[in-house]
Structure 1
Amino acid sequence: MMLLNRQSDRNNVIFVIMDIYRLSSFIAVAEQGSIHKAAINLNSTVSTISGHIKLLEEELGIVLFTRQSRGMRLTDSGKRILLRAREIISSTNKLYAEASLITNTITGDLIIGINAPIDCLRLSEVIKELDDSSHIRIMLKNLSSGKVIDGLQNNELDGGFLFENPNISSLNLTALDVKKLVFVLPHRFKKDKELSWEEMSRLTWICSDGYCPHQEITESLFKKKGLSLNKKIFIEQEETKLSLIQKGVGPALLLEDEVKALIDNNYLVQWSLPSDIYSQLYFATRNNNINDPKIKLFMHSLMKQFV
């Protein structure tokens, strides 16, 4: 979508067309503090996001970020523009909602936080169905359950997937499925004899940065044995865990759906427990947007996949 942000040249003011996608990229970089992370969350590329930021700065005539070795930091001007950008995105969604009422066709944007691979969440069929039955544009952001909760509470997400019930009164949770969890190690740990609890605790564990229910499950199990984990690696995107395990870094607790094929083909090693571990998968929205036509249509399609 393109927005006009200045008057015509007849009034000696430059005529500029602003792309809504550039604003979305700007917001993502501001929230993530990194072009690379923003590209991952928007399912885009670094060059595309970087280009959006450059063009937006040129259009506005101000510097939005200072480039630092540790990432992107908003300037004072950038902080002010961030507030306006969020207002524009919100207004755009309201415009689409109003158009939906007029045309009886549901339109607009949905920003959804995902905490597991698309196949595990059965999103492919949902996206196909919405593409056929509506004009909804879906933006998927790869986040941990904790980051999904933060995004919902900060009005940065319209909905999201998370594991376990955080018991937050402002959120509406719909139970979807119960997922089996397994401890997974790099292939280099494949031995005739399985590692003990103590040996496992000393490995370099790959942990989530912030709240993660599966991290809490892991630490609770080891605490019952009087052990604490050797936590050295912290990540923000859940898919990074699997990548690091495959690179031989260390273990983590992951969805069986995500790693079963890799275990069966001896690319990864499963550390067995006396009893299985399960986790409840939910789709969450805010109570104040549960009646949004876009959310209702998305959830209707999603629930059909988990019947």
Structure 2
Amino acid sequence: MQDIWQISSLSQDDLILHILPGIGGRLWDITYKQQSLLFQNNDLVGHQPDLSSLKNLPTRSPQFAFPLWGGEKTWIAPDNLWPDGGPYPVLDSGSYEIVFQDEQQITIQSQICNISQLQIERSIKLGDDARITISHKVTNHGLEDRMAGIWSVLMLDHPTQIGVVSGPQTVTPIFGKPDGHYRVADSKLICVCETLAEFKIGVDNPNGRVFLKLGEKNNPIWMAGLTKPPSPQATFAHDHSLEIFNSGDYQYCEVEWHAPAKMLKPNESTVFEQTFIPWSGEQIPDKLKLTPQEMELMSCMS
């Protein structure tokens, strides 16, 4: 019998990626300089999910009709098409097959979802320069056109600061009470997630660049999340290219990237790629080529 909790790892110097194919094909953790960066829900570790009754799993967040496993995963937007208020069980909690693996990359593939007829393929690659690349591919195996927006969700331990520079910045409250947890000034957004308070906001991110400050103030890890800037004509299933969620029940927050929504014809695929670059200390990697506004943003996060 397959051990669905078996971890596969990619490592390079101070960076280790822990991949959990058996539970929704997740990137389960990123360890950098011996510091864990991603949230794992210890209430669920070791449970064998029954895809037909996921609501029976233990949770401190019964308001959400799905298990909060942790890590980083691929969801399908819009969420108003989800069955019974939760992400497609086969894609979010089912086991993925390893279709390729070497010392630097792993590619994992879901089963075809019996509800949406969609299939997810995730490739996670670790570069020689501590560069993490995640490629999300969604294919429509159904007989009819299907709306799909790739939705990448990164679950991060508290405390986390999230910074974005994106021109005239507007924030859209989606639910909860976000006031007091973010500030906007001179086209720069900083959201601070360090306490239990449930809220979600939507943010425009036309530059495709997000900066994260993770961990305690005296020993933080920084990480940049980079995507290709969307075209001005792009539309998103949730109206924004970026969403930020903070939990009121567990010590974590989420940074959620949205690729432009696309109507997939039968056998058609869509792909979304992200790059993450972690570092520590005051020396910012030259490869980021920060703008003056981004330098100012990071100074305000310090």
Q: Note whether the superposition's TM-score is higher than 0.5.
A: no
Flag the structure with higher helix content: 1
Bigger proportion of residues as strand: 2
TM-score under structure 2 length normalisation: 0.25
TM-score by length of 1: 0.25
* Structure (1 or 2) with the larger CA radius of gyration: 1
Bigger RCO of structures 1 and 2 (CA < 8 A, at least 6 apart): 1
